[in-house]
Amino acid sequence: MTKALTKGAEIDLTIDKLAFGGQALGRHEGLVVFVDHGLPGQRLRVRLRKKKANYAEAEVLQVLGQAPQYVPPRCRHFGFCGGCRWQDLAYAAQLHWKRQQVLECLEKLAGFQSEVVAPTTPSPATWYYRNKMEFTFAPRPWLPEADLAAGADPEILGAALGLHVPGSFHRVFDVEECYLQSPPTGLILAFIRQFVRQSGLPAYDTRQHKGFWRFVVLREGKRTGEQLLWLITTAQGDNRVVDTLAARLREAFPALTTMVHAVSDRKAQVAQADQGRVLWGPGYLEEELCGRRFRISPASFFQTNTAAAEALYEAVGRLADLSGRETVWDLYCGAGSIALSLADRARRVVGFELVAAAIQDAYVNARLNGVDNCQFIAGDLKDCLRQALHSPHYARPDVVVTDPPRAGMHPQVIQALLDLAPARIIAVSCNPATLARDLALLQEKYALTAFEPFDLFPHTPHIECVAQLARKGHQT
C-alpha cells in the first residue's frame, strides 16, 4: 500500500514526535512522514508534497484530533511567520522536546548516553524576551490567502516592512504585532512603513537588485532601557530623506536613544553593512549581563535573550570550575561577554575571534568594566591557535571555552584542542548536531562529564547547550 502513495496523495496521520529542526513526524504504514506544522498526539489529514523511497513530506489539510498539549497561539501572524513555530505547544512540552532532540543528536552522532544530559533550563521570560530583531523591506507585502480572498491588493498597499515568509527570500509580510520583542516594536515598524510608502523612494527588490530601503534592526538593553535603531539602505537614494525620517522618529519615539544609518549594496540579503553615520545619540547602546556592562554597536553579536544568557553563562562559570589560578582561552569570543564573565575567577583570559570589530568591542567592554586580565586576539582561529600553540608569549590554557557558530569547530581547531590538552573544555553551542560531531572528535582524549541544555528561544525549535569535557584521567 505504501508504494502506491505518490505526490498529492491525501492520508490520515498521527504525529508521534517532533524531529530535530522542529518538523513533526508521523508514520503511515511504515513510511516516515514529516509535516511542517504538527504536534505530538495530533491526528491530521495531510497531503503529500514530496515522496521518496524512505520518507515523505506533507502539508496539513485538517486537524482531525487535537494534541493534549496544544495551546491557542497568541499571535495573529502564527502559521505563516517562521519566528514562533511552536507557539501552539505548551511551554513545558517545548522544554521536553528540546531535550529529546539533544539526546537524539548525542546518541546517534556521538554515541553518548542520556544520563549525562540535564533537563532543559527554561527561559525566565517566554514573551518579549528578545533584545534584537531584524526586519526587511520589500516592494510589496506578501498577503495570506484570506486577505487576498477579501480583496486586499498588495500592489496598492505599497512597500512592506516585516519578516520573511519561511523558505522565501523575497516574500515579506507586514509585522503588525510581535510577542518576541518589546511592545513598541510594532508601533515603530508601522511608523517607518507609512513614511517609506510616502517617501517616493522604492524598497529594495531582491530579484532586480534595485531600490533604496533594505533593513531595520531594533536593539534594546533589557536591563538599561536603552534602544537602538539601525537603518540600512542602498546608495540608490537621497540621504536627506533618511534625515527626515530620523527627525520624525526621534520626536515620535523618545524612548529610542540612538539611530544609525548604514549603506549596503551587496547582493546578499543579510542585515550587514559597514560602519554607518550616527543620526543621533551615541551610536551604540549598553546592556548589563552577569554584573558586567557591555557596549553594543549596531552589528555586534550579543546573546539575544539577556536573562536566559545569564543562566547560560552561570553554567559556563560553574562547569569551568575555576580557582583563580587558571589561564582560560575563550575561542570565538565575540565581544568578550563570556571572557569578561570569567575574568574575576581566572588568573588570565585570552579571547580569540575572527571579526576584528568584535575584538575592538571586547577591549572597550574590558575597559568599561575595569578588567585588566583579559587579552583579545583577532584572526582565523585555526591559524591563531597554531601560532599560539608554539609561541612563548602565551601560557598554555588550563581551561578552554569554545562557542563556535552553528557550523561548529573547524577540524584544525579540534586538532589544536587535542594538542593543547587543557584539563577541561567547556563547549557552548547553538546547534546540538554539530556539537555532537565535535564532541565525538574530542573523545580521543576527553570524557563528557556534564551536558546542560538551555532555552534561549521559547516557541522555536532552537536550543543552546553547554557541555563539560574533562581530560581523561583528570575528570572533575
Residue in the block written with cell 552522532: 109
Checking if the pLDDT of 114 tops 80, the result is no
Separation CA 77–CA 87 (nearest Å): 11
Catalytically annotated residue among 374, 384, 430, 465: 430
Per-residue pLDDT tens for 390-435?
877 778 999 999 999 999 999 999 999 999 999 999 999 999 999 9
Which residue segments constitute the domains of the chain, with CATH numbers given? Answer: 2-65 (2.40.50.140), 98-125+305-471 (3.40.50.150), 132-289 (2.40.50.1070)
Known active-site residue 430? yes
Checking if the pLDDT of 316 tops 60, the result is yes
Separation CA 64–CA 401 (nearest Å): 48
Beta bridge partners of 134: 217
Closest to 351 (Cα-Cα) out of 385, 379, 376: 376
Per-residue pLDDT tens for 370-392?
999 999 999 998 888 888 878 77
**Out of 41-45, 106-110, 264-268, 269-273, least confident range:** 269-273
Does this model's pTM top 0.85? My answer is yes
Checking if the pLDDT of 3 tops 60, the result is no
Written as one string, the DSSP assignment of 313-378 is HHHHHHHHT--S--EEEEET-TTSHHHHHHGGGSSEEEEEES-HHHHHHHHHHHHHTT--SEEEEE
Checking if the pLDDT of 1 tops 50, the result is no
Q: Are the CB atoms for 33 and 27 separated by under 8 Å?
A: yes
- How many whole angstroms from its chain centre is CA 158? 30
**CB half-sphere exposure, 252, CA atoms < 13 A:** 15
Checking if the pLDDT of 168 tops 90, the result is no
